[in-house]
Amino acid sequence: MNVYKAITFIVLLLFMLKNFTLENKITYVSSDKGEELLQYSSKHKLAASMDMIRNKAITLRQERLQIEKEKQKIENETMHKKGIILPVEQNKNSFSKKKAPINSNPEKQEPSAKKWMQFNASYYGPDCYGCSGITVTGINVRETYYYNGMRIVAVDPKVISLGTIVEIRTPYESFIAIAADKGGAIKGFKLDILVESEEVATQYGRHAVQLRIVQLP
């Protein structure tokens, strides 16, 4: 009888030891998995927060550009009604100190004002390859492609003097612009129209536009 009790005690003891070891193992595994899950959750939340901030910044930039576009449209309509865009002196002196010469060749013949001419137009963004975000006349276009409510275009100064205000008709829209930039590939009756980015510029492509001079510098 004592032997039976001893065997029973030993079996119960072994069973308890087995359960204790299994519980410790499960607790260790659970703790390890819990730490991994916690680390994964933290990384996931951080990535989601960064994506949210990035998307919000893009949305705000698009909204700002849209507001500027609407503002420019209203100002263009006002300019058309008034007939005169800017006082000549204001137009000449509104560039920065780093501006390029407005008219370096006083003997050249300017195209006739109010006469519509055909130009070959292309588009570019402030983020184009080799661009600094500053026009040759010193205008910062990193955050906007307007200047005093007018669009900005790059021209050949031998054809249109820098500082000239023009009206442009494209297949998509009509607007008032100022010749405030130039480029190595812009020669003769060619012009480059500034837009939000190079990505947008590629969507417009190249085409013929109508241009007339509104006000000389």
Q: What pLDDT shows up at residue 192? A: 95
- 67/79 Cα distance (integer angstroms): 18
Delimit the domains of the chain by residue range.
35-81, 117-215
Q: What pLDDT shows up at residue 149? A: 92
Q: What is the pLDDT of residues 45-94, one digit of tens each?
A: 777 777 777 777 677 766 766 676 676 666 656 555 554 444 444 444 44
- 20/172 Cα distance (integer angstroms): 79
- Domain 117-215 in CATH 3.60.15.10? The answer is no
Q: What pLDDT shows up at residue 53? A: 77
Q: What is the pLDDT of residues 86-118, one digit of tens each?
A: 444 444 444 444 444 444 444 455 555 578 999
Q: What is the pLDDT of residues 145-193, one digit of tens each?
A: 899 999 999 999 999 999 999 999 999 899 999 999 998 899 999 999 9
SS3 175: strand
Q: What pLDDT shows up at residue 51? A: 75
Report the chain's mean pLDDT, rounded to a whole number: 75
Across residues 25-42, what is the average pLDDT? Answer: 56
Q: What pLDDT shows up at residue 172? A: 87
Quick check: 131 and 154 in contact, CB under 8 A? Answer: no
119 DSSP β-pair partners: 209
SS3 136: coil
